[in-house]
Amino acid sequence: MTVRAWLAQALVGVALVTGACIGRTTESVAPIDIATPGRWINLAPMPIARQEIAVAALDGKVFAIGGYGESAAPLGAVEVYDPATDRWSERAPLPAPVHHAAAAVVAGRLFVMGGCAGRVGCDAQRTVYEYDAQRDSWATRAPLPIARGGLAAAALGGRIHVLGGDAGGVTMLHDVYDPAADRWTPGRAMPTARDHLAAVAFQGRLWAIGGRQSFVGTQYASVEIYDPAADAWTAGPPLPQGRGGLAAAALADRIYVFGGEAPLRIFSAVDMYEAAGNRWIAKASMLTPRHGIGAAVVGGRIYVPGGATAPGFARTGANEAYVP
- Specify the CATH number for the domain of residue 285: 2.120.10.80
pLDDT value at residue 209: 98
Question: Mapping DSSP to helix (H, G, I), strand (E, B) and coil, where does residue 11 land?
Answer: helix
pLDDT value at residue 71: 83
Which residue range forms the structural domain that includes residue 123? 3-323
- Strands 183-186, 87-91: pairing is unpaired
CB 30 within 8 A of CB 271: yes
Structural element, H or E, at residue 39:
strand 39-42
Residue 297 identity (one-letter amino acid): V
Question: Mapping DSSP to helix (H, G, I), strand (E, B) and coil, where does residue 152 land?
Answer: strand
How many other C-beta atoms lie within 10 A of the C-beta of residue 146? Answer: 18
91-127: buried (b, 16+ CB within 10 Å) or exposed (e) per residue? Answer: beebeebbbbbbbbbbeebbbbbbbbbbebbbebbeb
CB 66 within 8 A of CB 97: yes
Residues 6+ apart with CB under 8 A from 194: 164, 170, 208, 210, 211, 212, 213, 220, 244
Residues 6+ apart with CB under 8 A from 244: 194, 195, 196, 197, 210, 211, 212, 219, 220, 260, 261, 262, 291
CB 296 within 8 A of CB 316: no
pLDDT value at residue 24: 78
* Residues 122, 154, 174, 225, CA torsion sign: negative
What is the side-by-side order of every strand in the sheet holding 254-258?
A: 247-251, 254-258, 270-274, 279-282
pLDDT value at residue 144: 98
* Cα-based torsion angle of the residue sequence 295, 47, 90, 50 in order, rounded to the nearest 10 degrees: 50
- If one counts the domains in the chain, the total is 1
Average pLDDT per 10 consecutive residues for the chain, totaling 324 residues: 41 41 76 90 98 98 95 94 98 98 97 92 94 97 98 98 96 98 98 98 98 93 98 98 97 96 95 94 97 98 97 95 98
The phi-psi region of residue 198 (left if phi > 0; otherwise alpha if psi is between -120 and 50; otherwise beta) is beta
Cα separation, 60 vs 83, in Å, equals 8
